[in-house]
Amino acid sequence: MEKTLSYEGYHLVFSDNFDGPTLDRTCWNVELHPPGWVNEELQEYVDNDEVIKLENGNLLLRAVKTLGKDGSVSYTSGRVSTQWKRDFTCGIFEARLKVPQGKGLLPAFWLMTTDEDKYGQWPVCGELDIMEVLGDQPRKNHGTLHYGLPHEETQGTVMLAEGDFSQAFHDFAVKWEPGCIRWYVDDKEYFRADSWFSAGSDGEKKPFPAPFDHDMYLILNLAVGGSWVGYPDETTDFHRARLAVDWVRVYQK
């Protein structure tokens, strides 16, 4: 399939190649959240070099399994975002990523609305997922919109013809335009959406293309377990449980 992602009319407005000695915190927040914060996930998001580090020009987000003296098991991992530091309405958002393989691991590259007060809390505010690869299905990527109340989603998937997303770096992108959102892997479009809605508990719908018509921010994270991906088992290798990010770029008209 020919490459279909066009940058004509766009210019680069944000990029990070992760070449420095440490994460650039003028651009990125390190988020801290307890276990079970969302989706019945097991990990605690923490801020230390074990779970978030720059190495050989890559950002590494690592999931760590810890055994307690009493036999208990706990998990820590990393999550970074650009909220209130780099926020964008529309554009091309892309990252070059290599994901981990393993039951119960869920890496993600996605956009969340900056100001949830504009339309309401999730899912009314809108969420745009660019890359989600379940650790036990490493050949398949999911691209998803979340919106509305009750919660609805629009989702497309793509399967690699050869190999899987844990074996090599691949480019994941979305082109967000007013009224149309397109998803790409390695510059090839595999899904598009041009229909969604914004409606809160009062049932009143806002004019299309709400809620995807105002600032959103970037998130990169590695979750452990959850209601969708399932949970780790004895086959999950936490020595290799890391999301590697070569670069992140944003283009706008």
Angle made by CA atoms 178, 79, 47, in degrees to the nearest 5? 145
| Active centre residues (catalytic) | 127, 132
Contacts of 182 (CB under 8 A, 6+ apart): 174, 175, 189, 191, 192
The rounded distance, in Å, linking the Cα atoms of 27 and 81 is 8
Tell how strand 87-88 and strand 216-224 pair up.
antiparallel
The rounded distance, in Å, linking the Cα atoms of 234 and 231 is 10
3-state DSSP call for residue 239?
helix
Residue 237: both structure tokens together: 């290798």
DSSP tag of 98: E
First-to-last C-alpha distance (Å) of the chain: 26
| Contact (CB, 8 A) for 149 and 199 | yes
